[in-house]
Amino acid sequence: MNQYLKQSVTVLKGIGEETAESLAEMKIYTVEDLLEYFPYRYEDYRLRELSEVKHDEKITIEGKVHSEPSLTYYGRKKSKLMIRMFVGQYLIKVVFFNQPYLKSKIVMNETITVTGKWDAHRQTITANEMQVGQNTKTTDFEPVYSLKGKITTKGMRKFISIAFQQFGQYIEESLPLTLVKKYRLVDRNSALKAMHFPVNQEDVKQARRRLVYEEFLLFQLKMQALRKFEREHSPGIEQNYLETKVEKFIQSLPFPLTNAQSRVVSEILNDLKSPLRMNRLLQGDVGSGKTVVAAIGLYASVTAGYQGALMVPTEILAEQHAESLKGLLEPFGLRCELLTSSVKGKRRREILQQVSEGTVDILIGTHALIQDEVTFKKLGFVITDEQHRFGVEQRRVLREKGENPDVLFMTATPIPRTLAITVFGEMDVSVIDEMPAGRKAIETYWAKPEMLGRVLSFVEKELVKGHQAYVICPLIEESDKLDVQNAIDVHTTLTHHFQNRFKVGLMHGRLSSDEKDTVMKAFSTNEVQVLVSTTVVEVGVNVPNATMMVIYDAERFGLSQLHQLRGRVGRGSDQSYCILLADPKSEVGQERMRIMAETNDGFVLSEKDLELRGPGDFFGKKQSGVPEFKLADMVHDYRTLETARNDASLMIQSKTFWTRKEYQYLRNQLENTGVLEGEKLD
Ligand code: ADP
Ligand code: MG
């Protein structure tokens, strides 16, 4: 936007320092911010027939007062005012809370108009507004803003109206005419106006449609410009791996690769060979066989004369990966070493030494890998597992380690497409969407907590067959301490229950890594048959003999996390089971349990999860890099998102985007974000 709109809100008549301060609390600093501060909903004042109105819906309705108002006080300063009212032939009740002054305005047999929420069961409107006489509102819709400080709804509407009067003429069209025409969008000025002063619902709809597209388009332009510039400004290594050796390695695996694995392997090998730097996300459901794919890539890089690194979020996972990579790669003469914070003293110094000399080919570990003390002789390929746990910033730090190594991010959390292109929009994406043949689907059941007895006998049946079981304990978001206590309690109960028959182990985040190690070893060697644990076993853990997973308080987990947990079983050739102990009160909670029981497809679950929980919660943690949009909603507006993405991609690739005047506005937006400042990217 232009300079006029970038001025402080204090240039508006009637906005002084004090008001400006309140507006600042709402992150409104400039005229432009004010114009783009959209209502979060609209009050609907259309008159409707009672028969059209659903339970709990908001209505505005005229009627004739049919009883004297009765006013009762309760508590301190709380009151309830009740009348009966005739609406057509219906007699309904109208209740006003804490507006005792209305009593004097209500007169028997007079017409009044009330606005409120319709309770169809009680035939009652809980009203928040009343007007004597017929409805005289001139607009059907009034915007409702989320407000802070001393700002009132009325005030807000006035400020925005003044902003339009003083500066409306400076609102420019942001989109090229071709796009406005192509999608039949309303122009920017009208769209902004309609958001704040709509005449009817259709106005809002059209305004929103346009602004959502614009918001997504700008976002995607930034992402794709970033991607283009990262590519062009960060040359990678042309890794000339030895094709015959890599081929031989693949042939030597105990199984043929699935089609999906083969496809992804060739995408990765192409990236390695290319002189551009690899920046790729690999998604594959739990058990889809990502480790082998990683091993092939790492092996290829080593045959090209480079070292590789594999970074994972937990020590347990690091150990397991180290073990499987050693198993796969050492027979081919590669040296793989593990580096975590528990590798100390002389051993640590040795490993660091050998990594810097280049005698270690593959280094596997936790965050420790990207600390300064670790120097590689010739780092060519970095792989991270469960990358969504690392933030955008860490992704960048990692890419900057070594001399432009190729980077592959792996995740077992299938990421819904919309999130993948927003959160990871600057990357190339590979997907393993096929399971190795012969896997048995895990059977999942939802049981109420009072069925615990029966659940435990089911567990016992599996144990008697010589199998093992995981029992995952309640997740209490606020407190790690409470999580641990829960696990301890369940452990005590189960130890007692399986007394003299089976051994029950306990695993939680407060154990030292030595203790964790001991517990995990005891479970993987079947010295312990039941493992009670908090969610620390979530990722990577591999005990094929475990066929039973019981999850307490399953309603507290997101679908994706439940799916991850469930993925701990079903790793061997035997039928596995997952039991969700849950008593969700909400519709959504129950729906989640049903979906879990119905499908084993991680992608289906992730889409559902996104729908039910929203993008912010999807990754379970804040600062996950999920962008915040003013108006757009990634879930509901995903079609627009895809359209915008395609358009952005075409624009960024075309020459005209960088030269033509009609793209000026969009180009300016990119400049303001620093995306186009090449220095920042190097
Ligand atoms: P992920 O890391 O994707 O969860 P893994 O790489 O641990 O999955 O693979 C899970 C199991 O499947 C491992 O035991 C692995 O050896 C096996 N596996 C991988 N690829 C195949 C394949 N193409 N055919 C059969 N088994 C496979
Ligand atoms: Mg390369």
Please tell me if the CB atom of residue 412 comes closer than 6 angstroms to any atom of ligand 1.
Answer: yes
What pLDDT was estimated at residue 621?
45
Mean pLDDT for all residues in the chain: 86
Euclidean distance between CA atoms 81 and 60, whole angstroms = 18
DSSP-based three-state secondary structure for 283:
strand
pLDDT tens figures, 444-456:
999 999 999 999 9
Which contiguous run of DSSP H or E holds residue 567? none
Residue 682 has pLDDT above 50, yes or no: no
Tell me what the mean pLDDT of segment 248-274 comes to.
Answer: 96
Please tell me if the CB atom of residue 290 comes closer than 6 angstroms to any atom of ligand 1.
Answer: yes
Q: Helix H segments across 567-663?
A: 587-598, 602-613, 615-618, 638-653, 655-659
List the residue whose alpha carbon is closest to atom 16 of ligand 1: 289
Q: Which of 292, 298, 312 to mutate to test the pocket of ligand 1 (most atoms within 8 A of CB)?
A: 292
Atom of ligand 1 nearest to the CA of 294: 6
Amino acid at 314: T
Atom of ligand 1 nearest to the CA of 284: 3
Strands, E assignment, 52-205? 58-65, 70-74, 78-87, 90-97, 111-119, 124-132, 141-144
Structure-token pair, residue 617: 């919660």
Ligand nearest to C-alpha 240: 2
What pLDDT was estimated at residue 159?
95
Backbone angles phi, psi at 285, to 5 degrees: -60, 160
355 Cα: distance to centroid of ligand 2 (angstroms): 21
List the residue whose alpha carbon is closest to atom 26 of ligand 1: 436
Backbone angles phi, psi at 173, to 5 degrees: -75, 135
Atom of ligand 1 nearest to the CA of 544: 14
pLDDT tens figures, 214-239:
999 998 898 888 778 777 777 889 99
Query: Beta partners for 114?
Result: 61, 130
How sure is the predictor about 424, in pLDDT bands with cuts at 50, 70 and 90? confident
Please tell me if the CB atom of residue 284 comes closer than 6 angstroms to any atom of ligand 1.
Answer: yes
Cα-Cα end-to-end distance for the chain: 29
Sign of CA dihedral 113, 116, 121, 124: negative
List, edge to edge, every strand of the sheet that includes 406-411.
336-339, 362-365, 307-311, 379-385, 406-411, 279-284, 428-432
Q: Helix H segments across 26-152?
A: 31-35
Q: Are 133 and 111 in contact (CB under 8 A)?
A: yes
Q: Are 355 and 374 in contact (CB under 8 A)?
A: yes
Sign of CA dihedral 23, 24, 25, 28: positive
Buried b / exposed e over 145-163, threshold 16 CB at 10 Å, is bebeeebeeebbbebbebb
249 Cα: distance to centroid of ligand 2 (angstroms): 20
Judged by average pLDDT, the poorest of 136-145, 330-339, 433-442, 650-659 is 136-145
Residue 574 has pLDDT above 60, yes or no: yes
Residue whose C-alpha is closest to residue 440's, from 566, 559, 565, 571: 571
- pTM exceeds 0.85: no
Structure-token pair, residue 516: 């964790």
CA-CA distances (angstroms) from residue 172 to 3, 197, 648, 664?
Answer: 11, 19, 20, 11
Angle, alpha carbons 231-237-238 (nearest 5°): 110
Euclidean distance between CA atoms 382 and 47, whole angstroms = 63
Q: Which of 263, 285, 288, 319 to mutate to test the pocket of ligand 1 (most atoms within 8 A of CB)?
A: 288
DSSP-based three-state secondary structure for 472:
strand
Q: Are 168 and 193 in contact (CB under 8 A)?
A: yes
Count the Cβ atoms, other than its own, within 10 Å of residue 73.
11
How sure is the predictor about 513, in pLDDT bands with cuts at 50, 70 and 90? confident
436 Cα: distance to centroid of ligand 1 (angstroms): 7
82 or 588, which is more confident: 82
Amino acid at 317: L
Query: Strands 78-87, 70-74: parallel, antiparallel or unpaired by DSSP?
Result: antiparallel
676 Cα: distance to centroid of ligand 2 (angstroms): 24
Amino acid at 663: Y
Euclidean distance between CA atoms 625 and 322, whole angstroms = 29
Euclidean distance between CA atoms 115 and 44, whole angstroms = 9
Euclidean distance between CA atoms 410 and 261, whole angstroms = 13
Tell me what the mean pLDDT of segment 183-211 comes to.
Answer: 93
Tell me what the mean pLDDT of segment 177-205 comes to.
Answer: 92
Distance of CA 645 to the CA centre of its chain: 19
- HSE-CB of 474 using CA atoms within 13 angstroms: 16
Sign of CA dihedral 451, 453, 457, 459: positive
Tallying the residues shown for the chain, one arrives at 682
Angle, alpha carbons 568-569-575 (nearest 5°): 170
Please tell me if the CB atom of residue 413 comes closer than 6 angstroms to any atom of ligand 1.
Answer: no
Longest pairwise C-alpha distance within the chain: 96
What pLDDT was estimated at residue 428?
84
301 Cα: distance to centroid of ligand 2 (angstroms): 10
How sure is the predictor about 94, in pLDDT bands with cuts at 50, 70 and 90? very high
